[in-house]
Amino acid sequence: MNKLSLKTFTLLQTVTSVGLSALARMVTGVRPIWNGSLPSERQRIYFANHTSHGDFILLSACLSERERAITHAVAAGEYWGKSRLRRFIAQDMLSSVLINRQWTRPEENPIEIMLSVLDQGHSLILFPEGTRNMTDEPLLAFRSGLYNLSTARPEVELIPCW
């Protein structure tokens, strides 16, 4: 990517982030209520239940622009990587980290992929149920990823979100 296209791409990412956050706040009225923690530049894993594709947008809309720039949603690679358009939206425009839930090769290990993002000093948004909850149950059983990340990187603050 030459300098002009990299600059344009970065601008497009920023406009997408700011625009989606503003739209989410305007349409839904979402706003942060920091109960038990405060906004911080500390490295964090934000985790919440997962009911729609909009969950990540709403959660990230509650973060500052600087925090959004270094916070990445973890998303299902088998869904978001299915087509070039989905991959472009998830990875390029929303800076999501795609993981394969049915991985077979060591380099596809979701925990290792998420740890590498944390090792770069970035934060994550994680949905520990592992999929969208389309049932009447308030929560599905959590998968082990949040636990494994928290034991591997105990210095990273865990922030439950609702």
Q: Is the pLDDT of residue 6 over 80?
A: no
Element (H, E) at 123: strand 123-126
pLDDT category at 156 given cuts 50, 70, 90 is very high
Q: Per residue in 54-107, pLDDT tens?
A: 788 888 888 988 998 899 999 999 888 899 998 988 888 888 999 998 888 888
- Closest Cα to residue 119, out of 72, 82, 79, 159? 72
Q: Is the pLDDT of residue 26 over 80?
A: yes
In residues, how long is the chain? 162
- State the residue range of the domain holding 132: 3-32+39-160
Q: What are phi and psi of 73, to 5 degrees?
A: -75, 145
With beta carbons less than 8 A apart as the criterion, state whether 117 and 72 touch: yes
Percent of the chain with pLDDT over 70: 93
With beta carbons less than 8 A apart as the criterion, state whether 27 and 138 touch: no
Phi/psi-derived region of residue 29, left when phi > 0, alpha when psi is between -120 and 50, beta in every other case: left
Q: Is the pLDDT of residue 132 over 80?
A: no
pTM for the full model?
Answer: 0.82
- Closest Cα to residue 130, out of 139, 121, 138, 122? 139
Domains in the chain, number: 1
